[in-house]
Amino acid sequence: MRILLFVLLLSLCIAPKDTVSIEKIEPVEKRPNIIFIMSDDHAYQAISAYQDNLIQTPNIDRLAIEGMRFTNACVTNSICAPSRATILTGTHTHINGKIDNHFPFDTTQVTFPQLFQQNGYKTAMFGKLHFGNSPKGVDEFMILPGQGNYINPDFITTNGDTTRIEGYTTDIITDLTLDWLQRESNDEEPFMMMYLHKAPHRPWWPRPDKFAEFYTKQFPEPETLFDNYENRGTAAKTAEMNLLHHMMYNHDSKVRPETMARMGEKATPKVNEYNNGFYGPYNRATEKQKSQYEPTLDAINQFFEENWPTMNEREKMQWKYQRYMQDYLACISSVDDNVGRLLDYLDDSGLAENTIVIYTSDQGFFLGEHGWFDKRFIYNESFKTPLLARWPNKINAGTVETKMVQNLDFAQTMLEAAQIKAPDHMQGESLMPLLLGEGDDWDRDAVYYHYYEYPSVHMVKRHYGVVTEEFKLAHFYYDVDEWELYDRLKDPNELKNVYHDPVYQDTVKSLKTKLANLRRQYKDSEALDQKFIERYKAKK
C-alpha cells in the first residue's frame, strides 16, 4: 500500500496555477499554516466536546480544549455541495448558484484556495469535495468522485486519473494528508490544506473492527425519537427521513437482502427493494475484508430474523435507532482516531505552533431527534454545525464562543488569518475578532438560511428563514405557503409552531422585517426563488 501510494504520488504532475486577479498585500508577520478539517454530516451531538452521552471523541475535543469551541455555528443551506460552495466562495448559494446537490458548480468563480495559491501558499486537498469538477487553486489533490466510497475507495488525482486505493477511506484520506505534509511542508512557504472526510455520511460502513465494537453498544434515545409532528407545518409531516419508515433495512441497517427474502411477509412492513444499497458498497470489499465484516453481519441478521416478526412499532423504531447509532458512531470513531494521528504529527514535527487547525462539518445531522436521520431543515440539529479552532498563542485555550457564525464566514476568516485581502463580493464576516477574543463589537444579531433541494430525496420542502438567539422564523414554499415560528428559549426542541399564536404577533412582524432586510442585504429575492424553480422544472 505504501509503495503504491509513493508511486502514485510521484506520478502526479502539478496542476497549472489558476489565474485570478487579486490584490496582493505584503505580509507583516509570519503567516500561519492552515488545516481545514471537514467531515461529512458530522452532528455536533456526536462530538463529546459538545455532547458526551453518545460517543467520546478525545482527539477532536483537543481542539476545543486547546482552542475555541463555537456553540452557535450554522450553515446557510443544510446540504452537502451547497455548503461546500459557500465555504469555497464566501457567498450564499443563491449567489454562487450551487443551490442543491444536482446543478453543477460554476468553476469560473473565485474560490478561496485560489487566493491562497496566488499569495504564495502551498495548497492541497484530500478527501471528499462532492463537486463533479476538479478543485481550482490546489497544487495537489486526491478527491473522491461524487459521494465516494468507504471501502477501497477510488480517487480522482491532480492529473485527472482515477485510482483505487485498498483500505478504509478515513484512514486513507489521512495517509494522503500526512504524506503530503511530510513531503511538502517547509519553513519558507506556509500551506493551506483541506482534509475532508467522507465519514460519517450515509451509508454508514465502519471499518470492520469498529463495526464489531460498536455493535455491542447501546445508546440513549433522544427525547423526541417518537415525535408525531403535531403542532408543526406540513413540511415536517411529509419529510421522508423517519427512522422507522424511511431508513432502509439493507442499505442502512445492514440486513442482508437474502435474510429479508427468506423471511418473506415476516419482514414487513415496508420492505424495500434496495438490494444494491447493500451490495453496492459491500461488494467493494475483498474476500479478506469480507471475512472481517461477516461475524457482525451474521449477528445482526440472526437477531433481525429471530426478533423482527414479533416486535411492535415502538421496538422496531428502537432497534433501527440503535443500528443507526452503532454504525454512524463507529464511522466517527475512525474520524476521531485519524484526527488524533494528524494532531500527533503536527506536534511531533513542530508544525503545531504555527498552524491553525479548524474542525467543522458541511452541516449538522439528525441523530434520531424528531425520529429523523439526514439534514436539510432549518431546525437546530441540521442547521447548526460543529466548529472548533486551534491556533496556539492566538486563540485562548478552552474558550467558548456563543455568537452566531456561519460557514459563509470561513473563507474571509482564513484569508484574514493569512493576511490576504478577501474579495469585496464575499458575503460573510471574518471571525478573526472572535478568535482573538476581541469580539465585543461583533454586532450580528440574525442569520439568513435558504434550502432548495425539493422535490428530491427525503422530500424536505423549500424554505428560507431568519434565526436570532431567541427566535426562528421560516417560510416554506413551492407547493405550500406556510410560515413557522419557534421560540428558541422556551421551546429548544422546536416542537411547537407559534406563528399563529396571538402572543407572538409583534415578534412575527419584526422578524418578517428582519427577514426582508436580510434577503435584500444578501441579494436574495422572490424573483430568484422563481428562477431556481423554473431551472429545476426545465431540467426535469
- Give residues in contact with Ca ion (CB under 5 A): 40-41, 80, 362
3-state secondary structure 107-155: CCCCCHHHHHHHCCCEEEEEEECCCCCCCCCCCEEEEECCCCCCECCEE
Least spacing, CB of residue 202 vs ligand SGN, in Å: 4
Residue 434, classed as helix, strand or coil, is helix
Site string (96-115) toward ligand SGN, x via CB under 6 A: -----x--------------
Q: Which stretch binds ligand SGN (CB under 6 A): 15-23, 116-124, 200-208, 383-391?
A: 200-208
203 binds, among Ca ion, ligand SGN, none (CB under 5 to 8 A by kind): ligand SGN
The cell numbers describing 143, all together, are 478527491
What does the angle CA 358 – CA 359 – CA 362 come to, to the nearest 5 degrees?
120
Query: Least separation, in Å, of the C-beta of 207 and ligand SGN?
Result: 18
State the SS3 of 473-519.
Answer: EEEECCCCCEEEEEECCCCCCCCCCCCCCHHHHHHHHHHHHHHHHHH
Q: Does 79 bind ligand SGN (CB under 6 A)?
A: yes
Shortest separation between residue 196's beta carbon and ligand SGN, angstroms: 12
Among 15, 63, 80, 99, binds ligand SGN (CB under 6 A): 80
Closest residue to ligand SGN, based on beta-carbon distance: 80
User: Which of ligand SGN, Ca ion, none does residue 458 bind (CB under 5 to 8 Å by kind)?
Assistant: ligand SGN
The length of the chain is 540
Q: Which helix (H) or strand (E) element contains residue 467?
A: strand 463-467
Question: DSSP letter string over 341-404?
Answer: HHHHHHHHHT-GGGEEEEEEESS---SSGGGB-S--SSSHHHHB--EEEE-TTTSPTTEEE-S-
Q: Which residue is nearest to Ca ion (CB)?
A: 80
Reading across the β-sheet that carries 471-476, which strands appear in turn? 447-451, 463-467, 471-476, 482-487
Distances (CA, A) of 62 to 69, 150, 369, 391, 397: 10, 26, 27, 12, 10
x-marked contacts with ligand SGN along 444-463 as a string, rule CB under 6 A: -------------xx-----
Q: Could you tell me if 275 and 257 are in contact, meaning their C-beta atoms sit under 8 angstroms apart? A: yes
Region binding ligand SGN by CB under 6 A among candidate stretches 198-206, 312-320, 398-406, 476-484: 198-206
Alpha carbons 463 and 485: distance in angstroms, whole number:
13
Give the one residue of 34, 36, 39, 40 binding ligand SGN; rule: CB under 6 A.
Answer: 40
202 binds ligand SGN (CB under 6 A): yes
> In angstroms, rounded to a whole number, what is the distance separating the alpha carbons of residues 268 and 525?
46
Q: Is 374 in the site for ligand SGN (CB under 6 A)?
A: yes
Q: Which of 203, 233, 368, 423 contacts ligand SGN by CB under 6 A? A: 203
Among residues 363 and 430, whose Cβ is nearest to Ca ion? 363
CA–CA dist 115, 300 (Å, integer): 50
Out of 42, 94, 201, 475, name the contact with ligand SGN by CB under 6 A: 201
Is the CB of 196 or the CB of 417 nearer to Ca ion?
196
DSSP 219: -
Interface positions, 508-537, toward ligand SGN (CB under 6 A): none
Q: How far is the CB of 386 from Ca ion (least distance, A)?
A: 13
User: Nearest distance from residue 144's CB to ligand SGN, in Å?
Assistant: 11
Helices (H), 189-239: 208-215, 234-238
Site string for ligand SGN, 135-174 (x = CB under 6 A): ------------x---------------------------
327 lies in the site for ligand SGN, by CB under 6 A: no
CB 150 → Ca ion: shortest distance, Å? 14
86 is a site residue for ligand SGN (CB under 6 A) = no
Q: Distances from the Cα of 345 to the Cαs of 36, 109, 154, 395, in angstroms?
A: 15, 34, 25, 20
| Comparison of 232 and 458: residue with beta carbon closer to ligand SGN | 458
Are the C-beta atoms of 43 and 365 separated by less than 8 Å? yes
Judged by beta carbon, residue 17 or residue 102, the one nearer ligand SGN is 102
Residue 147 vs 301, nearer CB to ligand SGN: 147
Backbone phi, psi, residue 157, to 5°: -105, 175
**Is residue 318 within the footprint of ligand SGN (CB under 6 A)?**
no
Give least dist CB 39 to ligand SGN, A: 11
Identity (one letter) of the amino acid at 476? F
Half-sphere exposure of 467 (CA within 13 A, CB side): 26
CB of 23 to Ca ion, least distance (A): 33
DSSP element (H, E) containing 68: strand 68-70
Near ligand SGN in 248-287, by CB under 6 A: none
Please report how close the Cβ of residue 82 comes to ligand SGN at its closest, in angstroms.
8
Smallest separation, CB 172 to ligand SGN (Å): 19
Closest CA to 408 of 375, 378, 458, 448: 448
529 binds, among Ca ion, ligand SGN, none (CB under 5 to 8 A by kind): none
Contact residues for ligand SGN, defined by CB under 6 A: 40-41, 79-80, 101, 130, 147, 201-203, 374, 457-458
